Each structure stands twice: as C-alpha cells, then as structure tokens.
Structure 1
Amino acid sequence: MASKDSYGIVEWYGNGNGHRCGYCKSPNGNISDGMWAHALTVQNYQDLIDRGWRRSGKYCYKPLMNKTCCPHYTIKMEALNFRMNKSHKKIIKQVNKYLIHGIKPGEVKGQDQDGARDAPHLEAGNVPEGETPTVEGETTPGVENTETLSPPKPETMKDCSMDISKSEEASKSKKEIRKGQGADPNKPPCRKAKDIRMELKKKKLLAAGKDPQEVEEMFQKKNNSTDGVKTLEDYLNEPSNTEKCAHKLEIKLIRSNPRQHPEFVNSFKESHLVFKKYQMSIHHEDESDCDLSQFENFLVDSPLKETKGEDKTHGRVSMGYGSFHQHYILDGKIIAVGVVDILPHCISSVYLYYHPDYSFLALGTYTALHSRNLYSLTEIAFTRSLNKMDQELKYYYMGYYIHSCPKMVYKGQYYPSLLLCPETYTWQPIEKCRPKLDQNRYSRLAPEGVEDENLNVPDDQITILFMRQLMNYTIYTQLNPKAKDAKAVKKILISQAAVYFKSEEGGERILCVTFGFFFLVLAMGILVIDEKILEFGLEPGYQNFSEGAESFLKQQGIDSQGPITLMTFKIILAIICSITGALLTFPGLRYAKVHLDTLNYKTLGNYSWSDLAGENAHNYFEGKSMSAQAMFTERGKSTGDAVSDTTAQFTWAVSNLRQVFSPTWYRGLFGFLTWWMTTAWFTSTTFGLYYYSRVATQ
C-alpha cells in the first residue's frame, strides 16, 4: 500500500459564474476552475503548475484560458542560462553602493537626477546580445493600457536625416581636429581602472594579514571562472567580498510549513508587520484586510508536504522541498520577505512584500513596475545555487504572464523566458509568442502538429477519495442513484466510520469520542428535569406506550405490567442520544470548517466564496440524498406462498401494535429526538468554529 505521503488530497470546487477581474476591471470576465488542496506532495504541485495551476494559500486555481477576459500564461525562466541586461546590472550596482558606502540612489553630487529616473522598459542595452528586441510602449504606474510604438513616417525620417547632416556640417566647421603626438614612449602605458581597483584590493587583503599566495590564487580562480565576464553571483556577492560595509544585508531561508521552525515562530509578528505596511501602502488595503488571519491564510498556509533534504527521490537539496519564507534582513531588521516553493524542478515564486521605507532598494530611481527586479535576481541566483545540489532543479517560475497588462512587462525581460501553451502544455520561447499575443489575447503558442502527450489518462489510473474512502475513479462513476445494485454505496456508508476511526490522524476522532461521553451526561441531565418544565411530551408518550403494551401482552396471554420501566427507558434513550451526538460531531465539525473558510476567504483567486459555500452545501446534501435513494432502492418482489404468509403475519402484527405505538408515543419520542439532534448539531458546529480557528492551527 502506498505511503500516506505519496499522494495528495484535493477537493474540487469546479467553475462558477464569472467574477471581477483585477486587471481589466471587467465585472464578470474572470473565469477559472478551483479546488481546495488539503495536502499535496511537491511532485503533485510540480505537475499542477506545469498544467497552468497556481496556489494562493491552500486554494488552487486555473484560469479557463479561452473564456477568461485576461488569459494567464504560466511563465518560467531558465536560471542556468540567465543573461543580465543593463537595467539588472544598474539595479544591483545601486544597491551595492548603498550597502558598501551607505549612498542612496540620487545622493551622489553631480548626478543627473532627471536622467537617472528615465527607465524605459526595453532599450537597446537591455536586450542580451544576439536577441531581437520587441518594442513595447512606455508605461507608468497606474496606467492600464498602452499602445505599441508605431514606426516613424518616411517624410519624418527624411527631415531627421536632413537635420542630422546639417548639424554635422556645422560641427565640422566649428571644430578643427588636431593631430596628436601619440603616447610618450618614455612613460609607462596607461592602465585600466579595473586593473587599478584589483591591485588596490590585493593591497588591502595583504595589509589585513592574508597569505600572498592565497590572495593570488583567489584572483586567478576568479579570472579563470568568469573568463573576464562578471556573473550574477559576482554582482550580488560584491558587498560580502568587501571588508567594511556601511550596511549588512542578510538573506535567510526559513521553512514556513510546518510552522514549528523556531526562526519562523520568532520572526512571525515582525514579518506580518512588514506585510501589513506593504499592503496598506502599496495596494491601499484597509487594516482589516491584512490582519493576522489573512496573512496566515494567504502566505503561511500551504498544502505542500515537507520533504526532507536527505530524501533522494528529488536529489539532495540540504534544506529539503516545500514552502519557505526568504527573509531579507538589513542591519538586523526584516525589510522584505519572498514566499517561495522549492519543487523538484524549480523554485516557484508565490509572493513578495517589502517595507515601504526601503523601497529604494528594489526601485532605485525606477518606476514601481520594477519593484521585484532585485528580489527576482536574488531568487534566480538561489535557483542556480540549488542546481549544484540537484541538477533537475533549474527553472525559476514567476507565476502568470498577462500580455495585455503593463505591470507584467518586467517578467518578459528575464532572458530566456518560456510561456506555457494552453492547448499542448509545452513550453515556448516568449520571443516567438509575443507576435501571436499581439494579435489575440488567447492563442495557441505551440506550433501546429504538437500535441498534448498527457491528455488521455485512463480512468483506472485515477484515484479519488469519496466519503473518506479511497477508490478507483471507475468504481466511483458506478455510484449513482440510477444504479440497480446499491451494495457499493452501502459498503462505503458502513465502512466510512471504520476508516475514519482507524485513521492515524486522530485529532477529530478523539473529539467525536469525547463528545459522545459529553452528550451522554447532557442527555441524562436533561431527562432528569421535570416534564412540566421542558414539555417534550415524552412522559405522556411513555405512559401511553406502557398501557398499550400491557393490553397487547394480555391479549397474547402474557401477564405483565409493561415491557420496560420509565428509568430503563430514559437510560436507553440517553445512550441513543450519546451515539447520535457522537455521529453528528464529525459532520458538524466539517460544516464548521466550510463556514470558517467562507469567513476567512472573502475573495481568493477572484473566486466568490459565498457562492462556493452554497455550491458545496448543495452538492453535499444532494450527495446524501443520492446515497439514500441508492440504499433504499426497491428490490424485486419475491413470489410464492411464503411471501403471502409473511405478509399476512406482518399485517396482523401491525394492526395489533397500533395500540402500543400510538400517535402520542411517536409525538413525544420524535419531538424529543428532533430537539436533541438540533442541539447536538449546533453544539458540535459551534465548537468546530473554535476548534479550527484556535486549536487546530496551533
């Protein structure tokens, strides 16, 4: 039998009506499928994101690409082949200048402030060598739509060329070029600034007491490894290679699920405070919309099961696989947090929030559209470092790319980036996808002839959990109200309790048993109360039952004062109430969980949770009625004298028992049981709200 950690459990919510889109502001254009992930292995989630899914907390969603207003294309980047552009280098240099010298962007004397603030999204220097740039419109924060730059008209080009030629002639007439005498052969040749800096650095290391041979080997190794070209790691590690820095930036990776990690517990409140300031300042949310519960539901809760680093199934990543928070700590203070998932083949970026007072570290003198650049670069470098431990881990997933959204432009600037085709689920270079997306928001990205290799999965290879029973999908499809044979349904209903009470995770199981004893004591206490106070009609019903039973027994020639005493009747009734209360505890807890999720998740992934709760309740009770119909399907009538005799005997018995089980008896008994079941359901549901919001989250 497979281990409990080898499979995931999800609850399908399906797709509903359209919802408001946060990108184009369409009131009902956002359409997606959704499901609640109770538990997922890292391989489960890797497979999901490779099919266009994303998670938000434990809620997983996938936009219906051919129906939604703004198609979301999954985007990833080949971290090992990443090539920096000028904007990336400038951002890191500005941050390094602040860390090493304490100089913020714009504080250097003589710097052209206005020129430094010009930040085109795509310029000639930003494109890696050998690539053809795609010119896109300049965007600014808050602008929803932009237009691509149209090529200049021929007459405009003619005027420009005439102006240029005139200006060149004017400059030639004003300036006369002098012939130089050349370099002085008696003086040493000019040295490059790079060589001078390297020599000064060597002198500092030698003055600090470093071994001369060790210093030479260090510089020689650096020159050989980079071949004269600085890598991403070289830029990011520059402050750590400097002896004295004005500020210290430290990056810590802390496991967030499960939450028992000491560093995560100790930094939890500080991290949430940064999140609250970010949401209120950047996204203009109310304080109630970014409280502690929202923070936990959105960025702390995760369905991913922890996979230890020594597990060789996915390589040997020392910190293991799962969900993590990456803390950016400046001089001992958390200034930013990156929420990431470490998966078998990639690092998936979930969310990034930072302290607004330190936004200049991410923004520099650029616009808000570049706010993730620095942190994305560090996550790319982190992906490259993990690849040294696990060669299968080599991609950096940036979530969704929406071609019509200007705020998504920066994602396409990380080269080489790939987009997921929504029809074949194959990866295509973004350079080849842009022309198609310029014409249509939704488009097949893969070339003709490419097919989805994982499209057809046999039903017998799909395993589902139905009513807490693990079964094959083929068997599940046979469980319907029209089925003639209801044995499978009966078996599931009977084994449901057995499977539940045999499960290893017994937190709720213990609650059910405890509530059974609680309801026993409660029922005995209620039955002791005088009938005149509660007025259930239970004692008059019992009196009527006792007199009718005594009369019936005398007709049979049996001398008896009644089959049961009042005390025995109340004890049996209390035991029945205890068992009923225990059985109602589990569905009561489940019902409380649904309502608690509805309260916590007002809108998540642009999905209406109020509609979701209604759909779940409808499906739940519909499923129950279907099961009941299947259980009580009429069986074929037998024929013969035996059936006739049995029918006659049953008719005689019922006619005589009418005086025993009178309407007064039924009214009293069912009146009490109805009240009792309502009380038990309300009690278990109310306790469930407290249990899941306080106890189960500890």
Structure 2
Amino acid sequence: MRSGTSWKKNVSLLKDGGERSVCVTFGFFFFVKAMAVLIVTDNYLEFGLETGFTNFSDSAMQFLEKQGLESQRPVSKLTFKFFLAIFCSLIGAFLTFPGLRLAQMHLDALNLATEKITQILLHINFLAPLFMVLLWVKPITKDYIMNPPLGKESIPLMSEAAFDTLRLWIIVLLCVLRLAMMRSHMQAYLNLAQKCVDQLKKEAGRISTVELQKKVARVFCYLCVIALQYVAPLAMLLHTTLLLKTLGNHSWGIWPETISSLPVDSGLTSNSVYSELPSADGKMKVTVTQITVALSSLKNIFTPLLFRGLLSFLTWWVAACLFTTSLFGLFYHQYLTVA
C-alpha cells in the first residue's frame, strides 16, 4: 500500500511539474514571438505603437522641461519594447491552457454536433481569433478596403474612422458568438465522464464503484475551472476592446462623434476656484495651483495616440496568443494523442 501511495504522489508531482514546464516553455516562446512582432513596422501591422510612443516621449520631455528637470527621455524605445515583450510573455503563458482546453472541447463539440449550422458556427468560433488578428494586418485588410483595386481609379469604401469602428464591432460580435457557443463546449466537456466510464469498462479486472464515482465526480467538479478557462480570454478581449474605444477616442457609429475640444485655461480655473481663500493661505493656494496645473498637463502626456497604439497591440496580442495555443492544442489532440 505504501508503494502504491508513493507512486501516486510521484505521478501527481510529475503532472504538476509538466504543467509548470509547459507554461514556462510557452512563456519563452511568446517572449521571442513578441520581440519579433515588435520589430515589424506599421506598414504590415498597423498598431500605431511607434507613433504613440514617440508622442509620449516628446510630451514627457516637454513636461519635464516645464518642471525644471533634466530634459531626458523617460524611457528608451528598446526598454519600452523589452518590458512590453515580458508582459506579453506572461499573457501568453496565462492563455496556454485555455487554448489547449478550447481545442479539445472544439473537437468534442464537432463530434456531438449533428446540424451543419452548428458545425459552421463552431468552426467560425474556433477561427474567430484568426479573424481578429487579420484585422490589423494592413496589406490584407485595410489596404483592400481603403484602396480597393477597382480598375485605374481607387475609390475607398470607407474612411479610417469607419474602419476602426468596424474593427471594434467585429471583435465584439465574435466575442458574443463565442459566448453563445459556450453551452456546446461545456456539454462536450461533460461528456468526458461517459468516455471515462467506457474506458474503464474496456479495462481488465474488477472496477470498484468508488473509483468509478471518483472519475465521474472529478469531471463535474472541474467544470468551474473549464468555464473560467473559456470565459477569461473572452473577458480580456472585451476589456481591451472597450478600453481601446474609450481611451482611443473611437466611436461606435460610422460617423465620428462630435467632441468639444475647447481649450481650458488651467490657471484661470484654479484662480476662480481659490479666489475666495484668504490672503493668509497664499502659499497653500500657490501649491494647490501648481499641483492642479501639473495634473492637467499629464493629459498631454498620456494622449489617445499612446492608448490607441498600446491597446491595439494588446488586443491583437491576446487574440494571437489564443489562436496559437488553440491551434497547437488542435494538432496535439488530433495527431499526437492516442485514443
């Protein structure tokens, strides 16, 4: 009995170490992939990251000069991309097992689906991250939409603002489709209990009822983790997309929203607010005014150009990581596992 229990402990330790090693391996893989993607220019992957970082760096230099500090760049472009690649590797490691699990549920859901419409929706759901990735590939999507080859004259089908809005709507609709197909994937996972029972029946020897109950109960108890692995990447995509719309000053409509961009005199505002203070509090008034002006000038540093580039890249990266891990999981479950 002791040898049997020790063997089970060793197996569990090997499983834990295997999962950890898989996450570390995919983390290094996504780190190298992120460094390679960050080298690509905006002519191929239109994130606007270079423009946003340049605007941020110049605005930060001007802010430091106004504050009487040394006019050096707050961070170099290489350092910025290095830390961004590390953050991207963490996202890729986090999305490793959700992608692998999604591939397995996709195959099981296809085997259960009897209607062609359901099968088509399952295929679209699986390829949804690929569609999101292609939205930022400029030669494939934007060049054909903005300048379609229609003879000698090129007539753009929509403006750049409309294309950005269309891109946001496509991501939201694909996320809604994935949420709608969640029931089929959860049911496909629950059918693993029947597979476990069938596999135990094929084994030689007696099968205890307790062991059979444990295998079936393990599937149902793990359902919450499977649902979290299914919903977490979806929440990340929706979160980055909504942040991109809000902080990037995009619009949900075809025509851009009219936003009043009247300049606000921070000095006048601070003087009007603190004009009722007594003269004894003059020093405090000056200090509060300086803090107010400094905080208002931070809006000129963190501009919508910076948020557009950064959030566009993060949205694209989450979709790319999810598609890469699910594609690897599809290859693994279909060709490398033995039924």
Q: Normalised by the size of structure 1, how large is the TM-score? A: 0.23
Name the structure with the higher helix share: 2
- Return the structure number with greater relative CO, CA threshold 8 A, min gap 6: 2
Larger strand proportion of the pair:
1
Higher Cα Rg, which structure = 1
TM-score (norm 2): 0.44
